[in-house]
Amino acid sequence: MENDNKVSRVEPVQLGLNSRFIFECHQKVSCFTKCCRGIDIILTPYDILKLKNRLGLSSDEFLAIYTDLKFLEKTDLPIVTLKLLDDEQHSCPFVRDEEGCIIYNDRPTTCRYYPLGIASLSYTKEREGDEFFFVVRESHCKGFDEEKEWTVKNWRKDQGVDIHDEINAGWTELVVMKKSFPANITINEKAKQMFFMASYNIDKFKRFVFESSFMDRYEIEDSLVEMIKNDDIELLKFGFKWIKSVLFQSEETGEIKGFKLKKNK
């Protein structure tokens, strides 16, 4: 079905992991790099960690140079989007006409998913199988005219997005939980700041954990301390679980093995 409008069109079909679609993107397609311009890319916590390390920047430097701050609709949670160039096409700062993406191996999750999108119906404690996928078809995209067929599962594995989703799972859960809450239930400014720090500024969060009174307020097993001190991915996952108690006004930290609030604090 042809779409003459110069806008994205979401296929009205919910796809599962075994659903099939035809798509391929490469340098010889006539629309090469067009999808990297005039875009709105939300950066996940793992995206930012990979990109700031790729560029040799601190979290503060990367956030200042390459991102814009917005607030996610229906949640009022702070999110970070990729700052586009101030050119006629509002291009991604990492795209080149001939080369394509110059940070391809560390490209954001949204770019890896394209031309698929992912959504969740609502938050439940047992979220297994709650997600679904859909095709985003843009009028300029010629990748759908290619012949290569994929299942959603194979596409996710091929693009490395399954790894991104696993690492970001705790953060995604927080966003979905907040979306499922009634609109009149809000979080305070301090909680928003904690969410931003733990999600996007891994360097500041590490200082917060190890250089503030944080370690005095919680009982943390030595093995966990060692893990989060030396592995930023584990620190991210730890932060997602910790921020859950901050966002939802709970002292339940039992989801984090080897970590609990000190009763006398």
**Judgement on whether residues 222 and 106 belong to the same structural domain of the protein:** no
Is 161's pLDDT higher than 80? yes
What pLDDT does 265 receive?
Answer: 43
Same domain (yes/no): 140, 233: no
* Least confident segment among 36-45, 147-156, 217-226: 217-226
Mean pLDDT, residues 245-252:
63
Do both 170 and 199 map to the same domain?
A: no
Q: Is residue 263 part of a domain?
A: no
Answer yes or no: do 160 and 228 share one domain. Answer: no
Quick: pLDDT tens for 226-246. 999 999 999 999 999 999 877
Q: Which of 116, 147, 176 is the last residue of a domain?
A: 176
Does the residue 159 lie in any domain?
yes
Q: Does 136 map to a domain?
A: yes
Of the residues 133, 153, 176, the one at which a domain ends: 176
Same domain, 83 and 192: no
**pLDDT mean over 69-83:** 89
164 touches 109 (CB < 8 A): yes
Q: Is the sign of the CA dihedral 185, 208, 80, 101 positive or negative?
A: negative
Provide the domain count of the chain. Answer: 2
Instruction: Describe the chain by its helix, strand, coil percentages, rounded to 5.
Output: 40, 20, 40
Residue 121 included in any domain:
yes
Position 5 scores a pLDDT of: 43
Q: Which of 160, 158, 175 is nearest to 45 (CA)?
A: 175
Q: Do 35 and 101 share a structural domain?
A: yes
Does the structure show a pLDDT above 80 at 7?
Answer: no
Is residue 2 assigned to a domain?
A: no
Q: What is the pLDDT of residue 79?
A: 94
Last residue of a domain, one of 142, 176, 210: 176
User: Is residue 124 predicted with pLDDT exceeding 70?
Assistant: no
The pTM score is 0.88
Structure tokens at 253: 């930290």
Is 160 in the same domain as 135?
Answer: yes
Q: In this structure, is residue 79 part of a structural domain? A: yes
- Mean pLDDT for the chain overall: 87
% of the chain surpassing 90 pLDDT: 64
- Whether 44 is covered by a domain: the verdict is yes
User: 239 lies in which domain range?
Assistant: 187-258
